[in-house]
Amino acid sequence: MSRDCGRLLNVKHWLFGLVVLCSGLAPRVVGAQAVAGTVVTIDSVTPISGAIVVATAPDGSIVRTLTAVGGRFLLRFPRDGQWHLSVLRIGFTPSPPIVLHLTGQETQRLTLVAQSAPVMLQAISAKGSTECRVRPDTGLLVARVWEEARKAMLSVTLQSQDAVTGEWLEYRRTTNATGRLVTEQDVSVQRHTTQHVFRSPSSETLAREGYVVSDSSGLTFYAPDPEVLLSDSFSASHCFRLSKASASASASRDSVIGVSFEPTRSNQNVRDIAGTVWIDARTSELRSVDFSYTNLPSTRETVASGGQVTFARLPSGVWIVRSWYAQLPVLVAPPRMNAPGTAGTRSGTLIPVVQSVHTTGGEAFRISRGESVLTSWPMPYAHLQLVSNDARVPIAGASVSLRGTNIRLTSDSLGRVRAGPLPSGQYEAHIILALGDSIVSSTLIKTIEVGALASVDSLVLPNAVSLFRTQCQKSATSSAGTAMLRGTVRNSHGQLMANAVVETRFMRTDARLLKAKSVRWREETLQTRTNDRGQWVMCGIPHEVDIAVEVRGDALTAKRRVRVDDARMFLTVDLIVEISRN
């Protein structure tokens, strides 16, 4: 099948009855290799946008287009001759076409009136339809449902005279073995002057090589686009049956009816797809295509491999791919276990385990024509609310990043963080707190949920004492104390100094003598070194005591005297070293 136009599975099930209203013209048109006009309803006045105008020749050639706003259409024919002209509308039964005999180069204008009765899919039952027919047009009930799906999928592949611009959020991501927690993700916003959000390889290529292909560059997995599902090669390599939605389906069981498909071939070397095309039983409109990959190895975990393509009809009648995703688990062989008291490895087949899940997909969020927005959809955002019960731990100015992404944000004055738009899923938020003039390097981690129905995630921050203890556990100077000093060491030229020795001296009360009602003071000295960025941290510093801070070393001079008052847990002390000239 041509990727641009395709071939109808069974033309006789597709044709609509038409009345030609064009200055008394009969249904035989002479002297035109282009036909322009309008499609209207039975009242001969109301235009029909989003309808498919299709012309077929006796040799199987097909020309078709989509009616624009006002029902307008323009068909250009590749050659003279006899053509059968018809209109396809979702939810209506077919009628015989009109016949056109085209010669010359003139453009003929027609008004086409579609006369057809509604399709009654609600009366179709999937019970007893266990036989999987080789082609969807070989079973009457399957064909009726499949035809309605084909109309919508054809609409996605066609361009009307009023082309629309779609904006999609596209992403590639890796999640953990459950398929939920994001560990790596790349997101971009794309604009396309087409209804297509993605394209598959040709149907012939997929039929030959499969939907999951491994080569020297890695593993590639594909989702079926509408043109693939409409192709002759897809119909020839899959069988079809009617299906009803399960109780766990997103839509009501009574509101949708499906055509399920599965591969007919038994070639285990080709990874194909099986799935279901879901149709609204009341309106005959296409809802989604769910699919899974076949011939994949079984795993210990239950992780879905496959994906979904969803469709939406715009107010203008144009159909688009609303969203799509495809995912595949990354499998690893489990370690072989030795039996107790034995050497070597245990024989037998090892079932692979899921290491991670790779997903690629996209979601439309705005459709425009020119400067006018036709339709938009709200996109998921990550919402995080920081809460503090300690005045020394502010909620404003915290640095927040999402693992696996390039998102870096700062909480506002109310402790709120809003990130996105983002694909739905779980994200690991890393929060670094700003405490006055000191930055605590300990990172808080919070798993947040992003989705259409996700609520605001709250994180109650630890109090200052807890943060102090966490920070000081990492310090080499973690002796008993109630405060922390930290800072940097620079030379007189402003350059940070690595591996410089920082020393503090102070008088500490001997707690043992306090119990004996005798006060005695002893001098205490603490030392640490700066890291490769010239930073240093020192814990075990008493409150309300004079602290002498200096940099020790040959020809190095830098001294400060500080005091940590009772209201503070942290104090920053930056030191400037004057290099001696001797």
Q: What's the CA gap between 95 and 116, in Å, rounded?
A: 7
Mean pLDDT for the stretch of residues 384-399: 90
Q: Using one digit for the tens of pLDDT, what is the confidence trace for 189-203?
A: 888 776 666 788 888
Q: What's the CA gap between 289 and 307, in Å, rounded?
A: 8
Quick one: fold of 382-463?
Immunoglobulin-like (2.60.40)
Contacts of 272 (CB under 8 A, 6+ apart): 210, 211, 237, 238, 263, 265, 293, 294, 295
Evaluate whether 61 touches 77 at the Cβ level (below 8 Å): no
Q: Do domains 1-118 and 382-463 have the same CATH topology?
A: yes
Evaluate whether 93 touches 147 at the Cβ level (below 8 Å): no
Question: Which range among 217-231, 333-347, 468-482, 556-570 shows the weakest confidence by mean pLDDT?
Answer: 333-347
Mean per-residue pLDDT of the chain: 79
Q: What's the CA gap between 326 and 212, in Å, rounded?
A: 11
CA proximity to 240, closest of 170, 289, 184? 289
Per-residue CA distances from 372 to 55, 163, 487 (Å):
32, 12, 55
For 201, other C-beta atoms within 10 Å of its C-beta total: 16
CA proximity to 282, closest of 113, 116, 148, 420? 148
Going by their DSSP bridges, the two strands 382-387 and 457-460 should be labelled as: parallel
Amino acid in position 55: A
Q: Using one digit for the tens of pLDDT, what is the confidence trace for 345-364?
A: 444 556 778 888 999 999 99
Query: What secondary structure does DSSP assign to 197-257, as a single string?
Result: S--PPPHHHHHHH-SEEEETTEEEE----HHHHTSHHHHHHEEEEEEE--TTSSS-TTTEE
Q: What's the CA gap between 15 and 37, in Å, rounded?
A: 18
CA proximity to 198, closest of 405, 355, 54, 361? 361
Residue 2 confidence (pLDDT): 38
Query: What CATH number is given for 475-579 in this structure?
Result: 2.60.40.1120
Query: What CATH number is given for 1-118 in this structure?
Result: 2.60.40.1120
Q: Using one digit for the tens of pLDDT, what is the confidence trace for 43-61?
A: 888 898 888 898 999 988 8
Between residues 95 and 297, the one the model is more confident about = 297
Evaluate whether 29 touches 35 at the Cβ level (below 8 Å): yes
Residue 253 confidence (pLDDT): 52
Between residues 512 and 531, the one the model is more confident about = 531
Mean pLDDT for the stretch of residues 484-513: 83
Between residues 14 and 447, the one the model is more confident about = 447
**49-78: buried (b, 16+ CB within 10 Å) or exposed (e) per residue?**
bbbbbbbbbeeebbbbbbbbbebbbbbebe
- Ranges of beta strands (E only) in 1-66 are 17-20, 34-40, 52-56, 62-66
| Predicted confidence (pLDDT) at residue 23 exceeds the cutoff of 60 | no
List the domain boundaries for the chain: 1-118, 165-333+354-376, 382-463, 475-579
Residue 8 confidence (pLDDT): 26
Question: Which range among 159-163, 558-562, 567-571 shows the weakest confidence by mean pLDDT?
Answer: 159-163
Q: Using one digit for the tens of pLDDT, what is the confidence trace for 93-128?
A: 766 688 888 887 778 888 888 877 787 777 676 665
Q: Using one digit for the tens of pLDDT, what is the confidence trace for 27-46?
A: 445 446 888 989 998 888 88
pTM, entire model: 0.73
Half-sphere exposure of 454 (CA within 13 A, CB side): 23
Residue 580 confidence (pLDDT): 62
Residue 198 confidence (pLDDT): 76
Q: What's the CA gap between 238 and 222, in Å, rounded?
A: 17
Provide the pLDDT confidence category of residue 402 given band limits of 50, 70 and 90. very high
Q: Using one digit for the tens of pLDDT, what is the confidence trace for 470-479?
A: 777 655 554 5
Provide the pLDDT confidence category of residue 436 given band limits of 50, 70 and 90. low
Residue 479 confidence (pLDDT): 52
| Predicted confidence (pLDDT) at residue 438 exceeds the cutoff of 60 | no
